[in-house]
Structure 1
């Protein structure tokens, strides 16, 4: 039985970035392309910092490719692409008010309504606990 991988094999950086540029990057595809079982690939990128950095860089290449494609669609007039970019890159959305983001929001969570008999019982118990209660 072969020893488990402790780090990504040589050339992984170039290979993973090329996969990202071509839109083929996924954990399972990367593991297969590098000749690693998927569980070992996941273990390596979770526990070996240099390998994790290589994986993060490949994901950044993929993210940049997708953002560029989205940007091109937005510039060509695709309003949904423009809205998505504004939300993702700049935190803007038509669903939230613009302006002072230092507003305080208070939420009250009320319990469900009690039926009249339960309410009367609860009031009676509370009255009995009070000094001088019946």
Structure 2
């Protein structure tokens, strides 16, 4: 049983180089990173969440891993793997077979009707008052 010392406040020295190397070789995960850096997993998670410079180191390592995976997916797509091509189109360009392309489809028309009137108000509204026309023969 190992004794626990003070909790980590930041990633240990050399963490950037170590995590970037793990990302480049495809071995990056939270648990593997914590073990490689000699940190308990819960402390590793807390440090990369709360300590801004440590968070930046972790996000940079994740970016390296993401870029390598996208590159591998791109190579497969160019070599004719249609599933890889579909995935890249969906991830990088927001295109999917399931969603319609374009601005969302056809025309939409909305009719806004006034609220119902009580019968007396309706009768008053439709009554037309006749104006007396000047008599044309009086000229």
TM-score higher than 0.5: yes
Alignment of 1:28-67 (within 5 A): 28-67=31-70
The two structures have a TM-score, normalised by structure 1, of 0.74
What corresponds to 1:17 in structure 2? 20
Residue 77 of structure 1: aligned partner = 80
* Residue among 3, 8, 14 paired with 1:5: 8
Within 5 Å, give how 1:111-130 maps onto structure 2: none
| Structure 2: gaps spanning 5 or more residues | 109-139
User: Cα distance, 1:103 vs. partner?
Assistant: 7.5
How high is the TM-score relative to the length of structure 2? 0.72
Q: 4+ residue stretches of structure 1 with deviation over 3 A?
A: 101-105
Q: Does 1:97 align with 2:100?
A: yes
Q: Higher Cα Rg: structure 1 or 2?
A: 2
- Give distance in 2, aligned partners of 1:9 and 1:28: 15
